[in-house]
Structure 1
Amino acid sequence: MDGVVGEPTTTESKQTVLVVDDDARLRDLLCTVLTPLDCELVQAGSGEEALTALLQRKVAVIVLDINMPGMGGFETAQLIREADELASTPIIFLTGQADDGDLDRGYDLGAVDFLLKPVSAAVLFAKVKALLELDRSFAKLRMEAARLHEQQLQIARAAESRQREELAFTRRRARLANIFAADSIDLHTLEKTIVAEMSQLFDAACLLRLPAPGSEWHDSFSHTEGGRRSELLQQWLVEQASGGVRAPMPGGAVMIQELSARGQPVGILCVGRTDGPPFSEVETALFRGTSVAAALAISNATLYRVQTEYAAVMQATADAILAVDASGVIRSCNKAATALFSGHDDSLIGRSIVDLAVDAHRDRLREQLDSTLATHQEVSMEMTFASGLRRPVDVLITLSPIGDSIDLHVAVVVHDLTEIKQAQMVISHLASHDPLTDLANRRELNERLAELSRRQSDGKLAALLYMDVNRFKSVNDTYGHDTGDELLVEVAARLRSAAGDDALVCRIGGDEFIVVFEDVPSIEDAVAAGNRILQQVQGEPVRCKNVTLYPSLSMGISCLGASARSPEDLLNQADIAMFESKKNRLDECVLYTEGIGSRHKGKVDLRSEVADAIVRSEFRLAYQPIVNSATGALFGLEALVRWRVGDEEIPATDIIALAESAGQIGELSRWILARSFEDFAALGRNDLKLHVNLSPDHVLEGSFLDDLIGAQRDSGVAPENICLELTERTFYGDPATARVALRHARSIGFNLAIDDFGVDHASLTNLLHIPVDWLKIDRTFVAEVHDDQRVQNLVRSHIALASCMQVDLIAEGVENQKQADWLRDAGCVLQQGFSYAHPIEATDLAAEVEKWPTARRARNTGES
């Protein structure tokens, strides 16, 4: 919405949302989320640009980043609040991390909310949408109130009747005025009455023109005989009324009067006849007099209609609206006000608005009410009112002056903030707690560790116990995720009880838990506390719905101020000690030592073996089927790298990490591309897709496209049969370079897929720049999708986004039929996971693919 600050907002004008952030990509992402709101989105990269934008247009909502170079968010908000015309503009602050001081300062500056980065698209969309709706409601209310005030003022200042020229004119005008007044409540009926009476009075045709929406006119004609002559007469009257070229009418005579009442034009009245004598002076005077009565009747009918519409809007709004006089006494209110404060009108009318506030806020409300009356300026503020049950209610109250200096009233709009406050509390709790166990989450843990690190100079020890549940995956696989969740909830409860109120107990993901003790007297005391916790957690079985389980934990411990010098050291050392306990010390809390660290380092030395392993062809590929869950047909295969060192099978994620850290990822990726393309070509199945995972480091190499095209050319596989899978990490270092390379690959014919979609906040941004064909729903969502409503809503949003972006979906990690059925019914047909097949070794691939249709039929029919 282009405009000048201070320009009145109308319900037809387009609202503007100003997005202020120094990160251009985040601004684009936020604007993409807000695009469906049908508002103008204006971006600013700094506080200075934001202030310039606000001087050029009226803004309904400001989304403002706190931490920006130069003029920060708080300084920008301070300058905005100092401008009277911007003082009530709602501001949503964005911040990567906010402490209590930031929150207090932000709310002092008039913030309506804080959102922490990464910003949830659904939360941002809902909050901005609600503020835009509130802005539209307030704008309409102010416009209607102003219009009603002006019309009431004109009624109060009723024009003095013109001096009647003759008694006969007075009686005839009085008769018509009475007739008009009788029909003045309904404007449509009044129009018919005016043209009929005027036509009969002057023995002539009559036209009444009233303004209509869109700068148009609504015409009413008196009844005349039908036929061509009647049409010409009506056309002639319209031309007279509109001031156009007046077509000659033999013997024609016309009288035209612009109608006005209370200083405002209300229409045009025109009478004319095509035969008979011209209108006399007496008729002309009578016409003018009766036109005054008609104008006043039309004005009254229009005012009544506006008042009726305004009253309907006022009663229908969910906000409490009250009109109070200069002393604060309530004169009228809507249904929402009576419902909020009393339940019936009689207990509100005549009371002081100040009495509705709690005792601590009454003086402040009285001062603001006096200020509004003195300055004629609207003001908004948060305070607490007492409801009908005398329970406190947090509200946003807006005081707006109405009327003139002689009879000044105040419109009070009260918006109940109860739901918003509750939502803020829930959001704040969810941001720092695990939804399953209600323990602190990783974010809360990081904040506590950072605080401990700052206080480390006091010489006190802090201990961190890192533990996970042994054989937890087997519990999920054997008894289902419901049973696994019950086990986690019970373990969490026992940890909380055993650790005590002074310890921080966290669930940081899956079956991993952490306990942090502060001010520990000694390392020995910390180890003893860990052993005590193990005994209490493992001492009794856990009785779930259909099974009794005996919980077993592996626990490692490290101390800040002893072996660990930073939060990172503390976590890493406790993690290493926990894995040490898994080997042969399950019944005790293992303290991290330098010896344990040295043994762990041996695994790190595998990096040096990666290059030789590539040369010796020690790596191999396995292929996991991608299946159409609706038909059971094989859709494609995902290539997975494997490496066995001695008796240990190295996970694919560790292989990639080792190759990247050893600087061998380019060589490994070239080997994977060449070998997977050769294996796929050997199948001779052009009806299938081959999915190959790309290393982010390889994509950024200058040789990536040559490697890709060379492998494709050597194997003879069509690019259309290849889907290149990439993760969000691909775009961390140099997103522009990665996007250029991937768009080039896409233009050649290769398909693109974003793996682990939804895990990283940057997904939406990358969808704007990369023409992907597939999104892969991460296994962390799939694991709980069949029975967790929040996860289901999240996955449905992924499916809706894929449909909107016209891309396809594949679900990873489908391990049981419940997950498969739910995903299929929700619209995600393509799936992969242990529910369908484990990865197939390359040596067995041709045989397994060949017999796949038969195997699927046997499974579907129940054959052995």
Structure 2
Amino acid sequence: MLTEDAPGEGSVADDRQVVLVVDDDARLRDLLCTVLTPLNCEIAQAASGEEALTALLQRKVAVIVLDINMPGMDGFETAQLIRDVEELASTPIIFLTGQAEAGDLGRGYDLGAVDFLMKPVSRQVFLAKVKALLELDRSFARLRAAAAKLHEEQLMAARAAEIRQREELAFTRRREKLGNVFTAASIDLPSLERTIVAELSQMFDAECVLRVPTADNGFHESFSHEGSGEASDLLQALLAEPLADLAPGPQPQDAVMVEQLTARGQLVGVVCVGRAGGPAFTEAEGALFRGASVGAALAISNASLYRVQAEYAAVMQATGDAILAVDMSGAIRSCNKAATALFSADRDALMGKSIVDLAVAQDRERLKEQLDTTMATRQEVSLEMTLAGRDDHPVDVMITLSPIGDAGDLHVAVVVHDLTEIKRAQTEIRHLASHDPLTDLANRRQLNDRLAVLSGQRDTGSKLTALLYMDVNQFKGVNDTYGHDTGDELLLEVATRLRSAVDDDTLVCRVGGDEFIVVFEDVASVDAAVAEGNRILDRVQARPVACRNVTLYPSLSMGIACLGVTAHSPEELLTQADMAMFEAKKNRLDVCVPYTDQIGSRQEGKAYLRAEVVDAIARSDFRMVYQPIVNSATGALFGLEALIRWRAGGREIPAAEIIALAEDSGQAGALGRWILARSFEDYVALGRPDLRLHVNVSPDQVLDEGFLEHLISVQQDTKVAPGSVCLELTERAFTRDPAPAHKALRGARDYGFSLAMDDFGVEHASMTNLMHVPVDWLKIDRSFVARVEDDERVQRLVRGQIAVAAYMQADLIAEGVESLQQAEWLRDAGCVLQQGFLYSHPIETTELATYIDSRTAVGADQGANEN
């Protein structure tokens, strides 16, 4: 869900990037994609973690928007698989969730999330964050392009170096004739520059200045007179001109000679010699100066070339790719360290060997043909193939053939990139796309593919296809009590036992957190399939599972449906098996339950009611009834408990079922707000502020961020005194992170409302909650009251609850009192306030005033008699 703060602005990217939106809610995905439209990027969608992994195999994605709470593979599992692939490890992920559990934030950032957004998300916040990540992706792309350009420049420099080396051979004889004084100079450029100015200064008995261009389009100068650190005024005036504008040859009064230093077609510097106040230079000195300048230019060029070659050689040796140079016959002439490591041979063993012989037999002819084509066309080409690596182990590689040199000395640079890790990652991703990452069983995608095939192959005369749908009972309790690591151990053992209980060809799947499916093909009958299901249940549940910190007894609920009996499509098959499994879980059956039309009808009825809850709230189809709370000692009416009622489909829906339907359909908060408003209005209409109003609040309602604000708003609208209202809640509100519930309830009590713990001592009871929630009332559950007359153990438990209430300075109310004996025992034990059928069934609003008047009179008479 998104919220809209203000109109946003998008930016148009230079290149179309891809944003992958992963959410099982199609409506929300479409809305997210609409928000991202201004970014002018390509938007891909995935409805599950499995689809997201498939999409990442098919295209490069700049940003991933990933929902945490998805059926099947959740967002955290999907993110973990993405991070395990090297090529995807740096792809930014924004997590989305509608309800974060404790530890989700830390877990998300541990997985490398760049952001973590709670639903509803502001359109502008969402758009801005994705936009920023796209801009960052473009920045990285520019950096990669710059790196590629640098690599190309280095390769071109190496090629140019070879050309310069050949040109150097042509100048060698000329340099010898000129008596080049720089042949013994260092290839270190600064040392060479000092040698040049020193030798020329001594040769012509003059000052000498050498100006060499630098990489930043500036220049560097070397002086023969190091002591002064500068040239004479005459040379300084001359060198004030730009480097390229200095004219070669004799200068004013023949006192200065200037020569541009050019080698291999490039200007490498300018050299000047001058005699301030001395004799003019002769023609012979000019010729000698020109010859010496040629030698100096070549020496400077050689030093520069050596530096480039050294840098490129270092890059070649440091790269992880194997690089080899081969001649026209394919013979290897040079290679780097990565090449020797790949082929497990020393450099000398590789020299002279044909590159074609390094390929596996089936690829040798193709490599030979491509090598000849590269030589003929002088065009670079890349191809995938398999080479024989160390110990003749086959290695998948990408080979790039690049021609270098000229027609007289043509070579081919061969770059070999090892694809082993990439291929392994691709294989793993394909496996993960169809398998559960925890148990390695088939996942829902593989299940759907198999069911589609089976559905297409089915004919009326063939045997049945049976689908067993099973769920681990109380699995959430295992996670909450012992931790997710223990839960994972339990799931792994269940998966192992399921796999070992069937043939290797039988499809076994994990399709949810604790849900498993087994598909039997060619089953003779439904009864045979049920028998197989019961056999599997026995195998899985036969012995306990020893986890790291506890021993657990696995328990499964199992349902079964058959294709061609009640189901006629894969979708129906899955739905019916799920319904049958739910029937087994609801009735706590320890056998395989086959799907029947009666099961389907009941489930469809519940689905209809869940859909009707929203409209029922809007139409106020619900109504409130009120059960009296009576002082059993005086007979006086103490208060009223508000209870919701709903008549739908021709029957009266119980309050517990109404609450469950509202929670399942996400309407618990809306229903709770309706109950508060209606019960407050009914209470005001009675005009009896002396009576206490008890109103039940659901766990989901208390955990709603707007609970306290709405409670106060209703109170202010109806003018009900907060001290007259008691909010009743069950301890189920604290089964998740209790801190939000504690905070909300303390806020309600601080405002003046009193609090009651309903169903105290049943199922979720915890003494810890009594420390954090300042309850005013404890309500003894009807399950204790029903047995309090004749069960001594229950009597001791109830007396214990009464003692706890006394120590906590809380009052008591007993629920479900139906007999006079129960009422008297509770009263004598110390619980005076009671409610139940002994006193009255819940009363409709229209009859409430009459009942209160009659009950008040009864209480008054009883009080008078006692006096």
- Name the TM-score, length of structure 1 as normaliser: 0.60
Native 8 Å contact 1:145 1:402 kept in 2: no
Paired residue type of 1:202:
F
Give yes or no for contact 2:356–2:367 (8 Å, CA) kept in 1.
yes
Which residue of structure 1 aligns with residue 662 of structure 2? 655
Residue from 205, 208, 211 that aligns with 2:207: 205
| Alignment partner, residue 367 of structure 2 | 365
Find the partner of 2:158 among 148, 154, 159. 148
Show the counterpart of 1:421: 423
The match for 2:570 is 567
Q: How far 1:359 sits from its partner (Å)? A: 1.4
Match of residue 56 from structure 1:
none
Other-structure match for 2:468:
465
1:526 matched to 2:430? The reply is: no
| TM-superposed deviation, 1:365 | 1.2
Superposed CA RMSD: 5.3
Contact 1:468 1:511 in 2 (8 A): yes
Instruction: From the CA coordinates, give the structure whose radius of gyration is larger.
Output: 2
**CA distance, structure 1, for counterparts of residue 260 and residue 549 of structure 2:** 87
Mark the CA change 1:441 to 1:472 in structure 2 (over 3 Å): closer, same or farther. same
Aligned to 2:17: 19
Aligned to 2:122: none
- Write out aligned runs for 1:731-750 (5 A): none
Structure 1 456/206 Cα, relative in aligned 2: closer, same or farther at 3 Å? farther
- CA displacement at 1:196 relative to structure 2: 1.6
**Structure 1 residue 555 corresponds to structure 2 residue 576:** no
- Structure 2 CA distance for aligned equivalents of residues 848 and 427 of structure 1: 58
Counterpart pick for 2:167 among 157, 161, 177:
157
How do 1:254-653 and structure 2 match up within 5 A?
254-456=256-458, 460=462, 461-584=464-587, 586-607=589-610, 608=612, 611-612=615-616, 614=620, 616=622, 646=654, 648=656
C-alpha distance in structure 1 between counterparts of 2:458 and 2:214, whole Å = 76
AA matched with 1:266: V
Note the C-alpha offset of 1:545: 3.1
1:236 is matched with 237
Measured after TM superposition, the shift of residue 669 of structure 1 is 9.8
Cα deviation digits, residues 712-749 of structure 1 (max 9, x gap): 89979xxxxxxxxxxxxxxxxxxxxxxxxxxxxxxxxx
Give the deviation of 1:396 after TM superposition: 1.1
Matched, 1:833 2:737: yes
1:336: how far off? Answer: 0.6
* Structure 1 residues 144 and 230, CA gap change in structure 2 (3 angstroms): closer
Write the letter of the residue equivalent to 1:286.
Answer: L
Q: CA distance change for structure 1 residues 844 and 16 in 2, over 3 Å: closer, same or farther?
A: closer
**How many residue pairs align between the two structures?**
614
* 3-state SS of 2:543 partner: coil
Q: Is the 8 A contact 1:320 1:336 kept in 2?
A: yes
Secondary structure of residue in 2 paired with 1:326 = coil
- The 3-state SS of whatever aligns with 2:517 is strand
The aligned counterpart of 2:844 is none
Larger CA deviation: 375-384 vs 835-844? 835-844
Q: Is the 8 A contact 2:21 2:44 kept in 1?
A: no
The sequence identity of aligned pairs, in percent, is 52
**1:40-73 C-alpha deviation (Å, 9 max, x unpaired):** xx9776xxxxxxxxxxxxxxxxxx9899xxxxxx
CA offsets, 1:683-721, max 9 Å, x none? xxxxxxx985799xxxxxxxxxxxx999989979xxxxx
CA distance in 1, matches of 2:752, 2:404: 81
Per-residue CA deviations over 1:407-432 (Å, capped at 9, x if unaligned) read 11111111111111222222222222
Q: CA deviation at 1:290?
A: 0.7
Q: Tell me, yes or no, if the aligned pair for 2:645 and 2:654 is still in contact at 8 Å.
A: no
SS at structure 1 position matched to 2:406 = coil
Give the whole-Å Cα distance in 2 for the aligned partners of 1:220 and 1:350: 46
Query: Is the contact made by 1:97 and 1:117 (CA closer than 8 Å) also made in structure 2?
Result: no
Deviation string 1:521-566 (CA, Å, 9 cap, x unpaired) is 3322222221111111112222223433222111011122221122
SS at match of 2:391: coil
Q: Distance in 2 between matches of 1:850 and 1:212?
A: 84
Taking a change above 3 Å as real, the CA distance of residues 554 and 647 of structure 1, as seen in their structure-2 partners, is farther
* Distance change (3 Å), C-alpha of 1:160 and 1:503: closer
Structure 1 residue 399: Cα displacement: 1.0
Preserved contact between residue 209 and residue 231 of structure 2 (Cα < 8 Å) = no
In 2, Cα distance between the equivalents of 1:473 and 1:66?
Answer: 30
- 1:212/1:564 CA distance change after superposition, 3 Å: same
Return the offset for 1:217.
Answer: 1.8
Using a 3 Å threshold, how does the CA distance of structure 1 residues 448 and 359 change in structure 2: closer, same or farther? same
SS at match of 1:321: strand
**Distance apart, 1:847 and its partner CA:** 8.2
Equivalent-residue separation in structure 2 for 1:535 and 1:604 (angstroms): 32
1:648 aligned partner, one-letter code: A
| Structure 2 length-normalised TM | 0.60
Q: 1:214 aligns with which of 213, 216, 228?
A: 216
Matched residues in 1 for 2:569 and 2:148: separation? 53
Aligned-partner residue type, residue 319 of structure 1: D
Going from structure 1 to structure 2, the CA distance change for 1:605 and 1:295 (only over 3 Å counts) comes to closer
Tell me the distance in 2 between the aligned counterparts of 1:507 and 1:241. 77
The 5 Å alignment of 1:714-729 reads none
Q: 1:179-210: CA deviations, max 9, x gaps? A: x1222411110011111222222233322222
**Aligned mates of 1:843, 1:162 — CA distance in 2:** 95
Residues 225 and 231, structure 2, Cα contact 8 Å, conserved in 1: no
State the Cα distance separating 1:491 from its structure 2 match: 0.8
SS of the aligned residue for 1:310 comes to helix
Deviating more after overlay: 483-492 vs 294-303: 483-492
State the one-letter code of the partner of 2:225.
H
The structural deviation recorded for 1:314 is 0.5
- Which amino acid is 2:280 matched to? P
Rate the CA distance shift 1:459–1:209 in 2: closer, same or farther, 3 A: farther
